[in-house]
Amino acid sequence: MALQLGPFLTSKPTKPLSFKLHSIANPSHRSPTSMSCSVVSGSATFADQMIQYHPSSSSHYTKVCITSGGSANHHTSTKLMKLCKGREKVNKPAAPHREAHVQVTHSMQPEKIEIFKSMEHWAKKNLLVHLKPVENCWQPQDFLPDPKSDGFEEQVKELRERAREIPDDYFVALVGSMITEEALPTYQTMLNTLDGVRDETASSLTPWAIWTRAWTAEENRHGDLLNKYLYLSGRVNMKLVEKTIQYLIGAGMDPQTENNPYLLFTYTSFQERATSISHGNTGRLAKAHGDVKLAQICGTIASDEKRHEAAYTKIMEKLFEIDPDGTVSALADMMRKRMPMPAHLMYDGCDDNIFSHYSAIVQRLGIYTAKDYADVLEFLVGRWKVENLTGLSAEGRKAQDYVCGLAPKIRRLEERAWARAKEAPTIPFSWISDRPVKL
C-alpha cells in the first residue's frame, strides 16, 4: 500500500483554503455497537496540499494559503527550517498535535457478517490463487549489491553513482513511498480488526486469515527493498527516515472503515490500484533520470501491487453480486470520506505537515495526481458495473448516482491543483538533510 491522494479543493483561489472534517458518525451510517475517541488527523486531501501550517502564538494552528503572498510562504519556510535545525535539542511528542474526532466501530450488522462466513469456500478458490509460493517470489537481494560477492564495494559504488544523478525532489517522493510501505504492521493490524474475516488466532486456517498473513508477507518485501536501496544510495538522512517510520507505526492509521470489511475491501481495492500506478510512475521517472536498476525495482513492486489489486477487486465484485445495495453504499461511504491515505499520520519529529508536503511533491512530479485518482475511481466503477446495478433501495440509488458522477467532478478540479502548485513554496525536508525542495 502506498500513497493515495484526495481530490477536493476550494473553488476560490484568492481566499485562504479552509475545510472541516466530515463527522464519521452521520445519520446515514448504521448504528455502531461501540464508539471510541482517538486523537488523529483528518484525511489529507488536495486541499491539504494547497495550504501550509505554521504555529501561531497559541496552541492552535494558523492556515496560510500558498497563493496569498510570498511573505507568508517565506515565513513558513524559515520557521520550519529553524524547527528542523533545533530538533535534537528538544523533547518531541510521540506524534504531532491531531484533532480529536469520534470513531465509529463495528458498524456492520450481524447478518452481514454471515455473508463473509458463507464466502469462505469462494475465497479459498478465488482469492488464494492470487498469492505466489515463497519459492517463486522475488526477494530484495535479487536487486541489490551482493554482500557475499568480491565485487560488492564496486556494485555499491555504481549504485551511488547512478543515484547521484537523481534530483532531491524525486528522493523525497521515493522516501515517502518507502516509509508508507514500511508501516506494514499497521496494515495487517487493520485487516485483523475486521468483523467476519479477522485472523482470530494469528495462525488461523480460514482463507481470509491465510490471505491476510500471506499478503502481508509479500508486501513486506517492498519496504525492505526500498529501504536498503535508499541506505546504499547515500542520498538520504537514514536516521530521520527511520524516526519517521517509527513515528508512523506508533501513530497507526484511521481509514474510517469501522471494522467493516465492506468498507476496508473498498479501500484496499482503491489503494492497491493507486499504489501500482504510483510505483509504476516512480519507475518511469527513475529510468528518465538514468537509473534503470531503480526503475526495475519500482516496476517489480508495481507488478505485485497489481496482483493484489486483482484479489481485492474480485472480493468486491463478489459482494456486488451477493449484496449490491450494501456494497454500493460502502463504496459511496468511502468516497465521501475521501479515502484517507495509509500514511496520513506521518511525522518526522519536526514537520507536523510532512505528509501534505510530501503529497504535494508527488502531485507535482506526476507520480500520483488528481487525474490518477479520478482514473482509479472510474476504472473501479466500470469494473464493478456500478452504473448497471438494478433493484437498489432509495439509499442505494443515491449512492450509485453519487459514485457514478464523481470522477468528472474530480477532473474539473485538476487544473486548479496544477495552477496553485506553480506558486508553491520551497521548504526543507529532514529526509534529505534539510535541503530545500519546491512543493
Q: Which residues are catalytic?
A: 138, 181, 219, 222, 272, 275, 304-305, 308
Other C-beta atoms closer than 10 Å to the C-beta of 51 total 22
Is the dihedral angle over the CA atoms 354, 360, 366, 371 positive or is it negative?
positive
Considering only CA atoms, give the Rg of the chain: 22
Cell numbers linked to 237: 538522512
Burial class, 180, CB count within 10 angstroms (exposed 0-12 / middle 13-18 / buried 19+): buried
* Axis crossing angle, helix 406-421 with helix 394-404, rounded to the nearest 10: 40
Q: Which of 267, 405, 391 is nearest to 340 (CA)?
A: 267
Number of residues assigned to the chain: 439
What's the N-to-C CA distance of the chain in angstroms? Answer: 23
Is the dihedral angle over the CA atoms 381, 384, 387, 389 positive or is it negative?
negative
Q: Are 432 and 425 in contact (CB under 8 A)?
A: no
Query: C-alpha 401: how far from its chain's center?
Result: 26
34 forms beta bridges with 105
